[in-house]
Structure 1
């Protein structure tokens, strides 16, 4: 097994700050122009199209768009187009946001084609700007993450979050969010330096756990759970702090591990409350609380609430890489997985 600081996952996740700087510089004018168009002709609905980590980025985008712009966002089910070959009917002036690392999955391409045939404007957030997805899009947003050879997506996921944050900052005209997006590269570098070794100690012998977040932080909780399955062979489930109370919390008891991501806003209150309730039952809770601005266990940085999840997942990626190696695994080569998943 490689040392933790010698893996591709480590090197690629460590480059997220530089990758985001490229993403912002490359796409600022494109997204500003797109935002002007969206303000002039507001879409009745936004449809997202993605799978895996990219779908978790789409969840983050859903909360951003609905919170800052007020346009409803729905996730397309790719099988509707690729398996059932159903005709898609959309409201007037729909917007389709497709998110992908490779831009080559057949069911993603079929869904985008169906949306476009129904009259949607297609915006592709894609790392491979030469891909079929990029060719099919009306607006291409190259993620500029650079080559990503580890099976585990890290910097491409973070650049997708950054691109969504920039789009919504421009679309909404929210100056505070725009300013926070501008500082993302420096803040990501600070998040990468945080010490999450106590979470490695918590999970090195674990078999199951919950990862909880809420609102703008829900998508990164989903992503963290996926990465723990993928790189650490650890059964992890991502839940909203609200949804976890509807049945799943019944299995949380003495010694059950819980990893919680709390933003500094009101949505984070629900995470803090759930974490406290689980701890009172004897669960082993690690709460990354941005409100504590580095003072929680594990530490999380305070920032704009829409930016805090991006910083938290950056800190998490370093920990997940270390945990994978500590569990005797290679995070770059998870069992039974390949870099491009060609779902039909």
Structure 2
């Protein structure tokens, strides 16, 4: 088993371990009434999208998400949360250096003692969820599992679904698929973005992601018999018919969306294996993007 596969398999147990940090997560991620921004790069940006939607829908206050490289001072935020597995990503550090001193800053990271610590007021260090892999799997899902627990969600059934996702059949034979489209809505749109990224990173395959209803507004045009259209969460079921009419395979299941992301990760690894690729050594990627000044 490669490192990436082992880390995917560990997720339900790691989610349970995150519950020890619930009090700290509630203190830093609820902040009732505050206007919050969540930022990150790559996978962490997609986590930020889901986290922002979860917090705002829970009624704790306006919450935005932005790619760290696009952050510009100007809008007022009471608190800025930076999601960064390594604590070293250049764009995250640059964004934090632009934050006004009066704004509370929080880092969610997997490594202690990195540069992000010096730029933030508080750190939520989930070092038990750190990864050897370049391709992120268990760190981002653990961040979201912990945030959901902090916002009042019972993790036990989510963990149970996660275990099911480790054992259930894949939605299609990877040999039959060379194009994937992930659809989400609300907080699961961030999951859809992350699922598509995993396919690109691990399998170098053509994958896309969209807000579910936007699928009919153009993206369906490139779907065909070798396409898999995968819906995450409570999306319109009529979209399955739209996908099938284009000749694609439509897929959804009733697992919790976070558990469905495990299944998508497994599919990305299976597709990589079919293509003769090593997911532990993805093409052109490194664990952290550190730019030379």
Query: Residues 1-344 of structure 1: matches in 2 within 5 Å?
Result: 6-25=1-20, 27-34=21-28, 38-39=31-32, 42-43=33-34, 45-69=35-59, 71-80=61-70, 88-91=73-76, 94-115=78-99, 117=100, 119-169=102-152, 177=153, 180-196=154-170, 198-199=171-172, 201=173, 203-252=174-223, 254-263=224-233, 268-270=234-236, 272-285=237-250, 287-290=251-254, 301=255, 308-343=256-291
C-alpha separation between the residues in 1 aligned to 2:157 and 2:249? 34
| SS of residue matched to 2:260 | helix
Taking only aligned residues, the RMSD between alpha carbons, in angstroms, comes to 2.2
1:13-38 CA-partner distances (Å, limit 9, x unpaired): 1111222222221x1221233467x2
C-alpha separation between the residues in 2 aligned to 1:80 and 1:320? 28
How many residues are treated as equivalent by the alignment? 292
Distance 1:182 1:95, change over 3 A: farther
CA contact (8 A) 1:166 1:181 kept: yes
Distance 1:257 1:121, change over 3 A: same
C-alpha separation between the residues in 2 aligned to 1:337 and 1:24? 31
| SS of residue matched to 1:210 | strand
Unpaired stretches in structure 2, ≥5 consecutive residues: none
Shift of 1:10: 0.7
Shift of 1:262: 3.7
C-alpha separation between the residues in 2 aligned to 1:188 and 1:206? 24
| SS of residue matched to 2:276 | coil
1:297-328 CA-partner distances (Å, limit 9, x unpaired): xxxx2xxxxxx221111122222222211221
TM-score (norm 1): 0.78
1:252-272 CA-partner distances (Å, limit 9, x unpaired): 3x4151332242xxxx242x2
Shift of 1:146: 4.1
CA contact (8 A) 1:127 1:146 kept: yes
- Structure with greater proportional helix content: 1
C-alpha separation between the residues in 2 aligned to 1:220 and 1:160? 12
Distance 1:220 1:108, change over 3 A: same
Distance 1:207 1:133, change over 3 A: same
